Amino acid sequence: MTTENKAKNIIIYPELAAKVLQNNESEIFIIWSILKTLDTKGTGVVLMSDILEICKNVFGLNPTYAYSKINKGIDKFWRKPKGSKGNKVIGLFSFKAICQRLQPDLTRCHPIIVPLSYFISGSSDCKFFKNFLIGCVAGRYVEGRPLSIATIALNCGMSESTTRNALKSCSFLTSKSNYKIIKSDICRTKLQIIKSLSKSGIKYRIVQGQDGFILVEQMPNSYMISEFERLPLRFRPDVLKKFKNENLVPARYISEDGRWQNNDNPDITNFRVII
C-alpha cells in the first residue's frame, strides 16, 4: 500500500449505508470498502497485516483492538482468516454478497464518490463513521427531495436526536428549507387569524410576498452533498436494481413542474423565505 493509494476513491451507495447503520456495522463496513478499493487486482484476498495497517491509519487502533474489528466482520464482510502466523490472509465478500445479506430497501440513490484521504485525516472514530454514513443517507437524492428527520432516523435505525446531531456534524452536507404555501392575501391580519386558529399554526409563518403577504408552512428540509461528486444512476451495480419493488421504501415526495408534491400535501414548493 503506497501513498498513491491515497488518491483513490471509495464509492458509497446510500442504499447499502442505511442497512449498515441499522445493523451497527459502520466501522467494519468502512474497512471493507477501503479494502475493496485497494484490491485493484480484484482477487478478493488481502493480507492480515494490511488490514492491521488500515486499522492503525484510519482508526488509530492498536493490534489488540484491530483484531476485535476483524473478528466482528467475520461472516459479514469477510471470511475467517486462514494461513500460518505472519502470513494470514482474509477473503473479502463480494459487493453482491453484501447486498444479498443486508437486503437494501431504499432505491434510486446516486452513488457518492469519496476520496480515500477523507478517511485517513486523523480524526476518525466510531462516531465519525456513523455520522458520515447518516449524512450519506440524508443526502442520497441529488434533486433536493425533502426528507424529514423522522424519515432519516427510520432509514438508519437511529433515534431522531442522534440523527439530528449527526447531520449537524456533517460538513459535507448543505440543507435547504422547503415551504408549503397555505394562503396569500393583501391583509396580514386575515392570515394571522388563520394561523392562530389552525392546529398546525406553530408550523406557520407569515412572510412578505410580491403582492401582499403569504402564509407558509415549513416542510422537511432537503439535504445535498456539496463536498463529494456523484455518479449517475446508471453506474449503480445491477444487484441494487434487482430487489423487488414491494420490498422498497416508496418515495414520499415527487417533483412535478418544478414543485415538490405528495398525496397529502399537493402544494409543496421550494419557496425560500427570510424572516
| Average confidence (pLDDT) over 67-76 | 92
Which pLDDT score, from 0 to 100, does residue 84 have? 81
CB contact at 8 A, 273 and 216 = yes
Is the separation of the CB atoms in 113 and 11 below 8 Å?
Answer: yes
Enter the C-alpha cell of residue 215: 402564509
Q: Chain-wide mean pLDDT for the chain? A: 82
Please tell me the distance from the alpha carbon of residue 151 to that of residue 138, in angstroms, as a whole number: 9
Q: Tell me the average pLDDT across 91-114.
A: 93
From residue 43, alpha-carbon distances to 47, 80, 90, 239 in Å are 11, 16, 11, 20
Going by pLDDT thresholds of 50, 70 and 90, the confidence category of residue 168 is very high
Note the pLDDT of residue 161.
96
Quick one: which H or E segment has residue 195? Answer: helix 188-197
Compute the residue count for the chain.
275
Using the predicted structure, report yes or no on whether residue 77 has a pLDDT greater than 90.
Answer: yes
What per-residue confidence (pLDDT) applies to 252? 55
- List b or e across 59-91, with b for residues whose CB sees 16 or more CB atoms inside 10 angstroms: bebeeeebbebbeebeebbbeebeeeeeeebbe
Query: Model confidence at 38, in pLDDT bands (50, 70, 90)?
Result: confident
pLDDT of res. 2: 42
Number of Cβ within 10 Å of residue 241's Cβ equals 11
CA distance 186 to 171: 41
Name the grid cell of 254: 415527487
Highest mean pLDDT among 126-130, 133-137, 250-254: 133-137
Query: Which residues contact residue 179 at a Cβ distance below 8 angstroms, ignoring those fewer than 6 apart?
Result: 205, 216, 217, 218, 219, 268, 269, 270, 271, 272, 273
In this structure, are residues 247 and 103 in contact, taking their beta carbons and an 8 Å threshold? yes
CB 102 within 8 A of CB 16: yes
Phi, psi of 7 (to 5 degrees): -85, -5
Question: Residue 114: which pLDDT band, with cuts at 50, 70 and 90?
Answer: very high
Give the list of residues 6+ apart from residue 61 with CB closer than 8 angstroms, or none: 55, 69
Range from 56-60, 73-77, 106-110, 199-203 carrying the lowest mean pLDDT: 199-203
For residue 218, which of 168, 266, 261, 273 has the smallest C-alpha distance? 273
- Name the least confident of 133-137, 240-244, 250-254: 250-254
183 against 174, higher pLDDT: 174
Global pTM? 0.79
